[in-house]
Structure 1
């Protein structure tokens, strides 16, 4: 009972304060169920009991389940079922107490924490943006397993509950009060428990939950109500369109929510448990928990950041007012970083600032920004054509065209603007940072900062360490990326780094499938079924075939300059074979009027009917082979990057692949995908693909052995 402080006042109200010993937050650890059972035993035996208040001694209310325990679960067993049912039974016992029970929510109440609140008769929350409530389990490949699906559906009705169940949406106090997830808001922490006790005294008869009262009706109608039945049908179709059948958790949540309205309440809780334990052992849950919880936690906490004092840029210069430079300037201004947007022509620089104005207008249209906020943001962007004063700039971001001679000139010309402790970042996507650093006086302060397009939506930056980049510069770059609200992924220098290498294999595999004789529609469908956001042929059109060709030729010129023959993109043979011929035909991509697709005046696209000319034969590529080729090709290239030391950790490999490249999120990232399949099983399937389709799928056994035996790089 040391985790639960039990105090009874003179008026018979017991306050139970959760204070899990030895940890920063209250969680459903191994001590939780026995402790809660003991609390219930004592409450049920308490003489003169008039009410119960649940509070927290932590800065948050209750964080929910212990994800380490869930991650360790390997199979759904009777023991797991019994354990979950025992924990849920304590919540049900609270509901059956003959006195009102109130949750005094001082901070975040998520997952099992909010499920505790749902089992209370009344919920009071502190008016703080940090005091969010919700059931985010779906984002971790799970469903709320302590009654959350059943109770929230009964509390709000199916329609209102669905965004919070199927999307894991979290509600701040005002929203939570409006939709009915909480019942009352107080302004200070000191008011919480007094407000809870006051409500108990005023509502002594409110001990019975709505769903336990005779004649209870679901808000908005039950499962057979015509409007609800129609909503269920539409929701099922929309859910499949969104998940593609790759995420079991949302489907099971909808199943539990709908069927809970058709059965006895306690039977519904039991059904929820069965669905929950099935998800606990799933590879999708393992992937989501490993990557989106523990992985994100590692990045946000700076686990891969060099130690040292935190650094904050006070001003910035962005060189080049094209789409990338304009997007970076907007990202700066949005987070309060004053930025000069420099171009050779003032008209271009002004146009670059106009890009931010358009984004502001869109945000205003969606109610996310007001006119004052727009004016303040735009005031932070200053279009210029001349260098800033020498030694006056904290960070310079070079975002000119991907041409090494141009970059060399720009870096040398603009370096004097940098302050003595400032850093210089190049937004190159493939050119080696160590070579570009030769153009600056102090290569220790030069680093790669690779943003992704469109910058306002792609919230990740690939930080590339050159041979002479100092750890201090890396630390500052890491802090800068987080300062502007983006996710830093740190990689070591190489041709194409990490993201461009892997992204290139995705587009090339689309071309390989085309050359093998697969129908273009089937190629795009295979990518959709694999979970990729966009098919490889459409991606190529958006990136532009001409840009890909220019990048390749830039590296050929670099090889000549260095007197070497690099292997950058050497497996991407189909890209050269197909796109060079298409460019000769005047098909350079969407911005050039057409590529793999034709585009009408309204921008509607249809696959170019002449793509069949690139097939060498009429090979019958099975759809599952196409899906595997698309996924395995990217996973294998990611594995090579990890083995070569381009990538430092599995966490960055997984998160970088998902957020920068679009590797399917349900896998947890490329390396997690390999682990989820099982290293030996993945190796066997890769061998099959290599035998059938080529050595680009071949990986030495030693690499697999190291991956299987060494988890040290899993951050």
Structure 2
């Protein structure tokens, strides 16, 4: 029977007095913590209290594929200081309703089918028992930290009281980890796992029958936080090290959300639950109204969502699903491409010059799968199924019928053309012809190919199985059909595709060189190399620029520079030589230090492992220049990339701001707290105008390469942002 009529919550009471409340927003494909939810939750809770005497229990479930998604990120992204009172009131109001729900005096069980992340999982924490349905989309967790936020619906407070302070922080809150049903059960984040929703409802009714008068652990007399409070000896022995661990993990980079989580958890563990909830509200209000969360939400949610939904995909082209792919070259990149393709269900032909090399490429996939098996993330059947899809070969004829080929051989234009020509006669007549290159212009590689309209660049990032980005490069003759197909293939193999137009270095490889060169130039100015590396990591880069240069190799850096100069000269253009060039030339020519694979570069290596910075840097380049402020060092790197990204936009290399922001974070490690390379300009103090003023200061101190482009100056004068 139903005696409650509200669109968000469907109410069904059975003959035993168990009420099943089904969340089913009529205006959205997913249930979210939107205005409707916020307005109707108090009405639902009021009705539960009004009917309490006739109720024996409550089951919360969902009619959608998503159990309940998180809060209104658009509102959070737009929030500023003036919104603090309103946001605080919203948070406290929703927490009050969840608190009333868990103190209803009747058993409340959540049956989770689909994603219950952030606010969705916080709702389940306010129920007495959690049942998860082992369906493909079911996942639970508190991932707010990944958006520069913290759980604001009681997630910090209840997780600390449920799992203990250290476990909650280290395993759940600071990681933002997402847990599939089996892992969630093992962690204690859910209490039961069942196969179907019907089984979940039955399990919920059984638990209600067996627990007629439940109470949350923290509402029971004598409750103590598992593992102890911050004052208990065991926790007190570990707790002081957590800030240091956090600094080590972030390498000194801005980590506002992590610091706020740590503070809210520790402070909240020392007071009663109601005051702990107030502490949590205060902390998340500061984060919501701060700039860092705005930056991250814009890039890693809205920009990412736009890209993954096909913002770059030409309209009117039918959806495409690849079935058979040929990967040419079984080295690190080719092996990685083969793995992600086979994992996605494609039949993979992995070709190399020798069968031994091709088999070695397949062995790369076997190694990944064995590790997944050892960690319980896969099964022998799944491993064997994926490996069976990879066919090592040396015979071009084995490419028969393939609808996509990706060459991943050495960065030599003639070699790339040769290996594609070998398999071309055997491919499907409309197969996508793709080149995995990081710098070579696609238009040039398409020269001589019978079907240049089918030729496109697919710049993967290493390691392919871990890096989410795919930079798709459109040549002068690449057709919209080929671009649309390539975007579909990227999504099919689980990659986030940005689309850029052809040029030397495209977007990512071109811009990251500016970051590296600026760091190298500082070494040439006599700034201690250790300070340069520290400036990079404290700015938020995942690795120091000198360490990254060693991985790429100094000799490759020089070769790219020389090819770029030659390419520009052929077009009648000239680019001033970066001061880093002199340092690289001395490192290679005078000292024979070409990078890690050459045995040494800016760092020393033992058995391929980095052991420390090369002592000769101080001897040959000096290390006495301590006058350059840390902020200048950091902003020289950040501004170098941002200014070149503006040029990429001006030159038509970049097609959108979203591509710039997402590509810079996912592909080349631009600090995530900035929101990406163009959002960095938007969010700089004073906006674009403040950025221009600072760029001119850097240009006066360190060189004209920091002079802001005219387009940026005009944008600053008009008060526009990059959107």
TM-score range relative to shorter protein: over 0.9
What SS class does the counterpart of residue 192 from structure 1 fall into?
helix
Give the Å deviation of 1:304.
2.0
Q: Distance in 1 between matches of 2:478 and 2:717?
A: 32
Residue of structure 2 in register with 1:587 after alignment: 593
Following superposition, the deviation at residue 527 of structure 1 comes to 0.6
Q: Is the partner of 1:592 in helix, strand or coil?
A: coil
**8 A contact 2:65–2:137 mirrored in 1:** no
Give the aligned partner of residue 536 of structure 2: 527
1:31 is paired with a residue whose SS is helix
Matches for 1:690-709 after TM superposition, within 5 Å:
690-706=699-715
CA contact (8 A) 2:299 2:661 kept: yes
Q: CA deviation at 1:276?
A: 0.9
Task: Tell me the distance in 2 between the aligned counterparts of 1:332 and 1:13.
Answer: 48
Q: Does 1:108 align with 2:115?
A: yes
Deviation (angstroms), 1:372: 5.0
Residues 453 and 48 of structure 1, relative CA distance in 2, 3 Å threshold: closer
Q: Give the one of 231, 246, 250 matched to 2:258.
A: 250
Q: 2:674, 2:255 → 1: CA distance?
A: 9
1:477-517 Cα deviation digits (max 9, x unpaired): 11222222222111011121101111110110011111222
Contact 1:683 1:704 in 2 (8 A): yes
1:195 pairs with one of 200, 203, 207? 203
Instruction: Give me the TM-score of the superposition, normalised by structure 1.
Output: 0.93
Corresponding residue number in structure 2 for 1:57 = 63
1:99 maps to: 106
Are 1:333 and 2:339 matched, yes or no? no
Please give the TM-score of this superposition, normalised by the length of structure 2.
0.92
Do the aligned partners of 2:646 and 2:709 also contact (CA within 8 Å) in 1?
no
Query: Helix, strand or coil for the counterpart of 1:16?
Result: strand
Shift of 1:361: 4.3
Question: Contact (CA 8 Å) 1:515, 1:616: kept in 2 or not?
Answer: no
Deviation at 1:295, TM superposition (A): 2.3
Superposition pairs for residues 383-394 of structure 1, below 5 Å? 383-388=392-397, 392-394=401-403
Residues 13/253 of structure 1: CA separation in 2 closer, same or farther (3 Å cut) = same
* Mapped pair 1:27 → 2:32: yes
Match for 1:130 among 137, 147, 152?
137
Are residues 1:564 and 2:571 paired? yes
Which residue of structure 2 lines up, in the alignment, with residue 268 of structure 1? 276
Paired position in structure 2 for 1:465: 474
Structure 2 residue aligned with 1:186: 194
Whether 2:203 is the aligned partner of 1:204: answer: no
* Closer, same or farther: CA 470–708 of 1 in aligned 2, 3 Å: farther
How much has 1:619 moved relative to structure 2? 6.9
Contact 1:516 1:617 in 2 (8 A): no
Match of 1:69 among 66, 75, 88: 75
Going from structure 1 to structure 2, the CA distance change for 1:17 and 1:414 (only over 3 Å counts) comes to closer
After superposition, the Cα gap between the structure-2 partners of 1:412 and 1:59, relative to the gap in structure 1 and judged at 3 Å, is closer
Q: Paired residue for 2:172?
A: 164
Label 1:389 to 1:102 Cα distance change in 2 as closer, same or farther (>3 A).
closer
Aligned partner (choices 78, 84, 87) of residue 91 of structure 2: 84
Cα separation, partners in 2 of 1:525 and 1:19, compared to 1, 3 Å: same
Which runs of no fewer than 5 residues in structure 1 stay unpaired?
Answer: none
Aligned partner of 1:518 in structure 2 is: 527
**Structure 2: 5+ residue stretches without partners:** 1-5
Task: Give the secondary-structure state (helix, strand or coil) at the position aligned to 1:304.
Answer: coil
SS at match of 1:237: helix
- Where 1:64 maps in the other structure, the secondary structure is coil
Query: 1:284 maps to what in 2?
Result: 292
How far the C-alpha of 1:708 sits from its partner, in A, is: 8.6
Counterpart of 2:3 in structure 1 is: none
CA RMSD of aligned residues (A): 2.5
Q: Residues 572 and 104 from structure 1, CA distance in 2 versus in 1: closer, same or farther, beyond 3 angstroms?
A: farther
Partner of 2:652: 645
* Structure-2 residue corresponding to 1:660: 667
Indicate whether 1:397 and 2:406 are aligned: yes
The CA deviation string for residues 551-581 of structure 1, in whole angstroms up to 9 with x for no partner, is 2333455557xx32445xx355123211122
Count of residues in Structure 1 that have an aligned counterpart in Structure 2: 709
Alpha-carbon separation, structure 1, partners of 2:705 and 2:392: 46
The 5-angstrom pairing of residues 396-545 of structure 1 reads: 396-545=405-554
1:171-225: CA deviation from partner (whole Å, max 9, x where unpaired): 222222233222233332224344333332332221x221111111112222222
Contact 1:657/1:669, CA 8 A, preserved across alignment: yes
Q: Are the aligned partners of 2:349 and 2:398 in contact in 1 as well (CA < 8 Å)?
A: no
Query: For 2:264, what is the secondary structure of its paired residue?
Result: helix
| Distance in structure 2 (CA, Å) of the matches to 1:359 and 1:185 | 28
| Aligned residue in 1 for 2:314 | 306
Shift in CA distance, 711/407, structure 1 to aligned 2, threshold 3 Å = farther
Q: Distance in 1 between matches of 2:300 and 2:660?
A: 13
2:612 matched to 1:606?
Answer: yes
User: 1 CA distance for matches of 2:131 and 2:400?
Assistant: 54
| Aligned pair partner of 1:596 in 586, 598, 602 | 602
Offset at residue 119 of structure 1 (A):
1.2
